A and B are shown apart, each in its own frame.
Chain A
Amino acid sequence: ILNVEQSPQSLHVQEGDSTNFTCSFPSSNFYALHWYRWETAKSPEALFVMTLNGDEKKKGRISATLNTKEGYSYLYIKGSQPEDSATYLCAFGSNAGKSTFGDGTTLTVKP
């Protein structure tokens, strides 16, 4: 059983705060690590896919880093806005089979 863990489970911040979440995953059979954004009443949408140790991705105020040797990825949001409120999921893609999702971090940004 693959263990993909995300922390914290939930996070409440004020508008303008910067924040970060963690995803930990197995360090063996690594193929790719994905971050998804899941808004209420919508389907998850991909934010980033990272495949190489040391990868860093950036999209606007959101960025992510990857450490495959120690099995973790960080997602950062700079200057959080209310529209950033969502559940952020990471998924571990194994070269041995299917992708496995973590339980997500639910972010609430208060105006």
Chain B
Amino acid sequence: GAGVSQSPSNKVTEKGKDVELRCDPISGHTALYWYRQSLGQGLEFLIYFQGNSAPDKSGLPSDRFSAERTGGSVSTLTIQRTQQEDSAVYLCASSSTSGLEQFFGPGTRLTVL
């Protein structure tokens, strides 16, 4: 596609449920990033992929968070046993190589009740 797409755009879930967030990067982009923005906060780095591997997972807040990328393209961020503090906008970005400009998707707004 022309840009980075994310789905769903909005997700409301109950505490304790698992959720999956999807990111479709720009075709051909090898680097993919996940970030989140909690209410009133800045951009928080979660995980970075180069191809299908994740050389930097340092931003994942707990072992309830995991992410994978397949075929060097689509990525899924999974949050298990969601908590209210997981409520945030989750942003995905891709770039053609690691150090270059990142193009952001529209985000997924996650609300955990």
Residues of A in contact with B (beta carbons under 8 Å apart) = 31-32, 34, 38, 43-46, 49, 87, 89, 91, 93-95, 97-101, 103-104
Q: Of A45, A87, A95, which contacts B99 at CB under 8 A?
A: A95
Q: How far is the CB of B14 from chain A (nearest CB, A)?
A: 25
B111 at interface by CB-CB < 8 Å: no
Between B31, B55, B98, B107, the greatest number of chain A beta carbons within 10 A of the residue's beta carbon is seen for B98
Q: Of A31, A49, A97, A104, which contacts B42 at CB under 8 A?
A: A104
B51 at interface by CB-CB < 8 Å: no
Q: How far is the CB of A79 from chain B (nearest CB, A)?
A: 26
Q: Of A31, A43, A91, which contacts B106 at CB under 8 A?
A: A43
Q: Of A34, A44, A93, A97, which contacts B55 at CB under 8 A?
A: A97
Hey, which chain A residues are within 8 Å of B93, CB to CB?
44
Hey, which chain B residues are within 8 Å of A34, CB to CB?
101-102
The secondary structure that dominates the A interface is: strand
Hey, which chain A residues are within 8 Å of B106, CB to CB?
43
Known: A43-B104, A43-B107, A45-B104. A94 touches B43 (CB 8 A): no
Q: 10 tightest A-B contacts by CB?
A: A93-B99, A31-B99, A43-B104, A98-B48, A103-B42, A46-B101, A49-B101, A44-B104, A32-B99, A104-B42
Q: Of A43, A93, A103, which contacts B98 at CB under 8 A?
A: A93
Bound-complex Cα distance A77 to B42 (A): 21
